[in-house]
Amino acid sequence: MLIERLQERLHADRLQLGPEVMAGYAHDEAEWAPHGAPLVLVRPHTAEEVQEVVRACIEFGVPVVPRGAGTGLSGGANAVDGCVLLSTEAMTAVTELNTVERLAVVQPGVVNDHLRAAVAEHGLWYPPDPASSPWSTIGGNVATNAGGLCCVKYGVTADYVLELQVVTGTGELVRLGRRTAKGVAGYDLARLLVGSEGTLGVITEVTVRLRPQREPERTVAGFFSSIVDAGRAVTAVGAAGIVPSALELIDRHCLEAVDRWKKMDLAVAADAVLLARCDVPGAAGDAEADAIRDCFERAGATWAARSTDQLEADALFEARRLAYPALERLGPVLTEDVCVPKAAVPEMLARIEAIGKKHDTLIANIAHAGDGNLHPLLVTPRGNDAARERAQHAFHEIIEEALALGGTVTGEHGVGLLKMDGLVRELPPAVMNLHRAIKTALDPHDILNPGKVIAAAGRRQFESGTDRGSATLHRSSPKADSPPASV
């Protein structure tokens, strides 16, 4: 009956019932995260159509799972059995670009890089830049509060969201936030929705803050014979009071995988590479780049230098963005997303290395190292159940060590399904109760992306493969040329 109701209220081309098509939308890129079989896929074009979907789901008591481009890595967009999958991919309009107020108004399906290109034509810049920026959408970025390479200096998605249009769990279409430079009227509900992973409302429009275009960046590279030495260099940069526009780590496993795939001739004689960028103009920028190089050398770099070849520098940063899909070609990749204080980065990297050896698991490392956001990538051979089990144990142990060092279980990928148990360990019961109270208040019918983020049985679900209904741990193998996720 729900499908008949949707057919009455929406254009026929908005609904898709084909099992093969729906299967391609049933999960994100989170390896081994459970997913179920959706009832129908809906691709609305307007906020009003989203509202019709949510109201119909309330009427029939059917879950609705919002999704963007599906590049997530926590299972947050995974279907539950019998749900309506609501894809915002057709909502791709940039409806306003205001150069005076330096803001843009976009629908949630706008791709991050497309927005950046559009505002660049007006001398403006949208800073949040997850590694998946060529594919991930603004709606998905907002839902997970995505970060990226330049967030060490310029902040994350939440720092750029001014206003949201949202369909609530009661079926109302509302606006949250404001465009003015200041405003403290009422609670900051827009900020509350950022990072809520579709569990508190369905985002239908986003107003984002823009900045002026930056000066050309200088690149500094450092090669290290130990990933721990590279971590010490990160701490040294922070201790020197330097805030680069990017400070990224990529290890030998990642570079070799990218080189085998893309033939980029990345002949790097190092176990780890640090890539820093500075966008301070003039002589001050030169001095900052030199200071970063000095930090690298004092921390034990075998080689460090400011790049004089822009193409070479761009190739190294491109390798950083391509690391995840390159490793996927070797086998399933379980991606971590812990964040620790900058001073704890060397110790956390050492513990990750030890965990890999303990569990006989290949762990490659990439990181937004400048803000302590580490992405250990646990690679397993296809079809090897014993290796998968070892990797899952390593995954949970990394979480434990991050918490022990004063860190958090997720820096930017979100809780989704894979980190629910970690969230319970990170937050005390009273705080978890606040989360549940907010969820109940904003989604009283419990239809918005149910079973994600704050459900109590995170690890049990992850290990047993049970979701709301009869979801399984089955994941189709990623395509060799599939787009990279947000790491």
Over the chain, what HEC string results?
CHHHHHHHHCCHHHEECCHHHHHCCCCCCCCCCCECCCCEEECCCCHHHHHHHHHHHHHHCCCEEEECCCCCCCCCCCCCCCCEEEECCCCCCEEEEECCCCEEEECCCCEHHHHHHHHHCCCEECCCCCCCCCCCEHHHHHHHCCCCCCHHHHCCHHHHEEEEEEEECCCCEEEEECCCCCCCCCCCHHHHHCCCCCCCEEEEEEEEECEECCCCCEEEEEEECCHHHHHHHHHHHHHCCCCCCEEEEEEHHHHHHHHHHHCCCCCCCCCEEEEEEECCCHHHHHHHHHHHHHHHHHCCCCEEEECCCHHHHHHHHHHHHHHHHHHHCCCCEEECCEECCHHHHHHHHHHHHHHHHHCCCEEEEEEEHHHCEEEEEEECCCCCHHHHHHHHHHHHHHHHHHHHCCCECCCCCCCCCCCHHHHHHHCCHHHHHHHHHHHHHHCCCCCECCCCCCCCCHHHHHHHCCCCCCCECCCCCCCCCCCCCCC
Tokens representing 66? 């919002």
User: Which of 168, 61, 76, 38 shows the shortest CA–CA distance to 451?
Assistant: 76
Q: How far apart are CA 314 and CA 323, in angstroms?
A: 14
Tokens representing 21? 């098509």
Give residues with Cβ within 8 angstroms of 369, minimum separation 6.
230, 231, 234, 247, 248, 249, 274, 345
On whether the CB atoms of residues 179 and 162 are closer than 8 A, the answer is: yes
pLDDT of residue 486: 61
pLDDT of residue 274: 96
On whether the CB atoms of residues 400 and 412 are closer than 8 A, the answer is: no
Q: How far apart are CA 194 and CA 187, in angstroms?
A: 14
Q: How far apart are CA 196 and CA 157, in angstroms?
A: 13
Distance (Å) of CA 377 to CA 120, 178, 394: 33, 39, 11
| Side-by-side strand order, sheet with 64-67 | 15-16, 40-42, 84-87, 64-67
pLDDT of residue 485: 57
DSSP β-ladder status, 303-306 and 362-368: unpaired
Bridge partner list, 41:
16, 85
pLDDT of residue 312: 79
- For 78-101, letters b (16+ CB in 10 Å) and e give bbbebbbbbbbbbbbeeeebeeee
pLDDT of residue 457: 36
pLDDT of residue 455: 66
On whether the CB atoms of residues 147 and 165 are closer than 8 A, the answer is: no
Report if pTM > 0.75. yes
Q: How far apart are CA 432 and CA 434, in angstroms?
A: 5
Q: What is the pLDDT along the chain (487 residues), one digit of tens a residue?
A: 899 999 999 999 999 999 999 999 999 999 899 999 999 999 999 999 999 999 999 999 999 999 999 999 999 999 999 999 999 999 999 999 999 999 999 999 999 999 999 999 999 999 999 989 999 999 999 999 999 899 999 999 999 999 999 999 999 999 999 999 899 999 999 999 999 999 999 999 999 999 999 988 999 999 999 999 999 999 999 999 999 999 999 999 998 999 889 888 776 778 999 999 999 999 999 999 999 999 999 999 999 999 888 787 888 888 888 998 999 999 999 999 999 999 999 999 999 999 999 999 999 999 999 999 999 999 999 999 999 999 999 999 999 999 999 999 999 999 999 999 999 999 999 999 999 999 999 999 999 999 999 864 333 333 333 333 333 333 333 333 444 456 7
pLDDT of residue 311: 82
Bridge partner list, 84:
40, 64
Distance (Å) of CA 83 to CA 266, 294, 467, 483: 45, 55, 12, 25
Distance (Å) of CA 395 to CA 32, 246, 334, 402, 424: 12, 26, 8, 11, 16
Q: How far apart are CA 59 and CA 41, in angstroms?
A: 18
Q: How far apart are CA 81 and CA 186, in angstroms?
A: 38
Domains of the chain in sequence order: 2-89+433-464 (3.30.43.10), 94-212 (3.30.465.10), 218-404 (3.40.462.10)
Distance (Å) of CA 86 to CA 58, 276, 283, 427: 14, 39, 51, 30
pLDDT of residue 264: 81
pLDDT of residue 268: 75
Q: How far apart are CA 302 and CA 177, in angstroms?
A: 49
